[in-house]
Each structure stands twice: as structure tokens, then as C-alpha cells.
């Protein structure tokens, strides 16, 4: 029941805070294959079409920016994974004691776990993605 409520909370918050996400939204179950830090990790979707579509959108956005979004670094061909930055999570920088603690916590809780990732157009146009080439998504464990 708690997972059901969490799922609906994520869907509702995505809808209320990101009206533009309704124009383009992809969702897939998959695996968290690597944790970068407290709020970023690599996700491999079960549905390869999600990876293909997000990468295509990222490449299109990359052409319209003045700085590289490093799409090829963010989308790994070998395992069809992509980098996700969790929205609404603000962890300390990874080179600080609190950042290292956040990374350890995230690694222990997320790495190797199955999850549901939902990404919308707002994730692709968000300032951090445009500047750093990172995806922002909602994650729900199951």
C-alpha cells in the first residue's frame, strides 16, 4: 500500500509541477547499475526504446545549446544506460564529508536495485540538463 501511495504521489507531483512533461513522457522499469553520488546514478531501462528516445531528444537539444551537453558521456551504448539526476533532491557536493556520506547511502540503497524511472520533456529542458547534460527523473522502487 505504501508503494502505491508513493507512486501516486510521484505521478501527481510530476503532473502538478511540470505541465510541459505531459507533452513528452517516458517510463520504464529497469535497474540502477551505478551510483555516481547522492543524487545521480546510471539507470538501464528494460524498455530500450526509452533509452533511444531520450538520447534522440538530448541530441536535438544539444544542437540548440552553446555548450556541449556531453550526450555520448551520459548515454552508454554498451549497456543502454543513461545518467539520471534525481529531481527535488539536493545533496552536498561529493568532495565534502556530507557528500561522501550521501553517496554511500545512495549506493547502499539504490545500486543493483530494480526501479521505475519516469522522464518527461521538462527533464530535458531543465537548466541543469542543458548545462551539464544530466537527466532528471522520478524514481520509485518496487
Is the pLDDT at 77 greater than 90, yes or no? yes
Check residue 135 and give its pLDDT: 45
Q: How far apart are CA 5 and CA 134, in angstroms?
A: 27
Task: Kindly report, residue by residue over 30-45, the tens digit of the pLDDT.
Answer: 999 999 888 888 999 9
**Out of 46-50, 105-109, 114-118, least confident range:** 114-118
**Correct CATH for 2-141 of 2.60.40, 1.10.3470, 2.40.50, 3.40.1440:** 2.40.50
Domain extents for the chain? 2-141
**Which one, of 138, 30, 134, lies nearest residue 73 by Cα?**
134
Which is more confidently placed, 104 or 66? 104
C-alpha dist (Å) from residue 97 to 45, 90, 94, 122:
31, 15, 8, 32
pTM: 0.70
Amino acid at each position: 500500500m505504501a508503494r502505491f501511495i508513493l507512486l501516486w504521489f510521484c505521478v501527481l507531483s510530476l503532473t502538478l509541477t511540470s505541465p510541459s512533461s505531459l507533452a513528452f513522457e517516458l517510463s520504464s522499469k529497469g535497474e540502477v547499475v551505478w551510483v555516481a553520488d547522492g543524487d545521480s546514478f546510471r539507470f538501464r531501462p528494460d524498455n530500450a526504446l526509452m533509452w533511444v528516445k531520450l538520447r534522440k531528444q538530448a541530441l536535438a537539444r544539444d544542437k540548440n545549446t552553446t555548450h556541449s551537453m556531453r550526450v555520448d558521456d551520459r548515454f552508454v551504448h554498451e549497456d543502454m544506460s543513461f545518467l539520471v539526476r534525481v529531481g527535488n533532491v539536493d545533496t552536498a557536493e561529493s568532495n565534502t564529508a556530507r557528500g561522501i556520506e550521501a553517496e554511500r547511502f545512495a549506493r547502499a540503497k539504490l545500486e543493483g536495485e530494480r526501479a521505475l524511472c519516469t522522464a518527461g520533456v521538462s527533464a530535458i529542458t531543465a537548466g541543469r540538463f542543458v548545462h551539464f547534460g544530466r537527466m532528471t527523473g522520478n524514481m520509485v522502487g518496487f
